[in-house]
Structure 1
Amino acid sequence: MANKKKYTKKPAQKKSSNGWIFLAVGIVAALAAILIFSGAFEGKKDTAENDIDYSGQPFLGDENAPVEMIEFGDYKCPACKNFNEQLFPVIEKELIDTGKVKFYFMNYAFINVDSERSAKFAEAVYKELGSETFWKFHHKLYEEQPADHGAEKQDIFTEDKLTSILAGVSSESDAEKVKAAYTKDAADKAFETDKDLVSELGVKSTPTLFVDGEEFTGKSLDDLKKMVEDAAKEKK
């Protein structure tokens, strides 16, 4: 179980699902990606030191990785789908699989009613079936997100749809087990924990990354890698 890390608290701003645009600029030895942020911070802001509690959160990577990275996302967010399909594989290959980063996913479900439903269902998957199945389901949800314009405003991830998606990556019996737990509100506490953290951190868009408690506001993958390297150096 990870230790608590320091983060810088930022005031909450208007919600948006279009905070990031990810562009794949070519595949040579590995995929390169550029992250462009909208709504950049201006001027100095008041700061306060607090702690992030990572306990009980789903993660990928070495338990002893020196740096913690969080993605705040919404399963109905098109930019999150883009992140999951284009940039995450690079982060996984270069930062997670190499033991540099312990990668967490936390919910910022605000786009539609099925944003919250899918987030809670995924939390129930993690609670009932563990980390491996959670991550399979997590990635499959983004694959199943419709590409149609405006689909994020439609109630697509119904309870039956989520159960069917889970059965496809696990089994019918596992899916029914999770559905029963979800129906009994077994994942509500975990969902509320993420919601409270979103508020405390002032997360304003999805996807948003934090590295060892500090929001990533760079513009490229190289900026992200440097932030991870700097965070690791501070541990030595």
Structure 2
Amino acid sequence: MANKKKNTKQAAKSSSKFVFWMIGLVAVCLLAFIFLSNQSDKKDKATTKTNDIDYSNQPFLGDENAPVSIIEFGDYKCPICKDFAHNVVPMIQKELVDTGKAKFYFMNDSFINIDSKRSAQFAESVFQELGNETFWKFHELLYQKQPEDTKAEKQDIFTEQFLTDTLKEMASEKDVEKVVKNFKEQKSMDAWQKDMDYAGKLGVTGTPTMFVNGKMFTGKTMDDLKEMVEKAAKEK
């Protein structure tokens, strides 16, 4: 009889432990579900939210009166950005910019290394001193000169001398001096920081990332982009 009571107590104790662990497991699963749901909601909001963006004093391609504004966030040391600049931007220019449907802006998200920051600020100095047209020439040449070796991402290659020599390929000595002076005096710092602040505010997590009239582009093809631009134009 004593053994029976003892077994009954042990069974009750085991049952209590089982219930406790089941309750704990359910609670963990519930918390995980809530966390994943919140992450999904945040991602959905980032891709559907229309953000207010100040486009003033930013380099762009196209007609400033075009109804739609496309932004590319890029890094001059990013190999994917190089490919994007050489293969995708010409398509965007031909099908959307040259047709007057959109204008195309470039903004910096300099995240790879010191070269990223230095080249972006130097390019901003080019824009401030020599204007939009020379900026885009420098922009394209800088991507052309990006090293093919992926290990170079971590190397200090885009030095001030390298950037100065690159600019000399398209600008006069006097113009180069103006840009270098601007860069040394850090006059382009605020413009670069403005881009970086937007990259953080808009939730940019990699380059290249595009926005169409303030909404993040999450499509995969040129047709997806054209569709988004057409939709944005109708919403104006």
TM-score over 0.5 (shorter chain): yes
Greater RCO structure (CA 8 Å; 6+ sep): 1
Match of 1:227 in 2: 228
Match of 2:123 in 1: 122
Structure 1 unaligned blocks of 5 or more: 1-41
Match of 1:170 in 2: 171
Could you say which structure has the larger radius of gyration?
A: 2
Match of 2:111 in 1: 110
C-alpha distance after superposition, 1:85-127 (max 9, x if no partner):
1111111111111111111000000101010000000000000
More strand by share: 1
Paired residue secondary structure (1:52) = coil
- Aligned residue pairs total 194
Q: CA deviation at 1:169?
A: 1.6
Amino acid in the other structure paired with 1:163: T
Instruction: Say which of 44, 52, 61 aligns to 2:41.
Output: 44
* Whole-angstrom distance in 1 between the partners of 2:176 and 2:50: 41
Structure 1 moving runs of 4+ over 4 Å: none
More helix by share: 2
TM-score of the two chains, using structure 1 as the length reference: 0.80
Match of 2:215 in 1: 214
| Superposition map of 1:1-236 within 5 A | 43-45=40-42, 47=45, 50-235=51-236
* Whole-angstrom distance in 2 between the partners of 1:155 and 1:52: 32
Structure 2 unaligned blocks of 5 or more: 1-38
Q: CA deviation at 1:43?
A: 2.9
Q: Is the 8 A contact 2:50 2:213 kept in 1?
A: no
Q: CA deviation at 1:170?
A: 1.6
Percent identity (aligned): 61
Q: CA deviation at 1:149?
A: 2.3
* Whole-angstrom distance in 2 between the partners of 1:123 and 1:220: 30
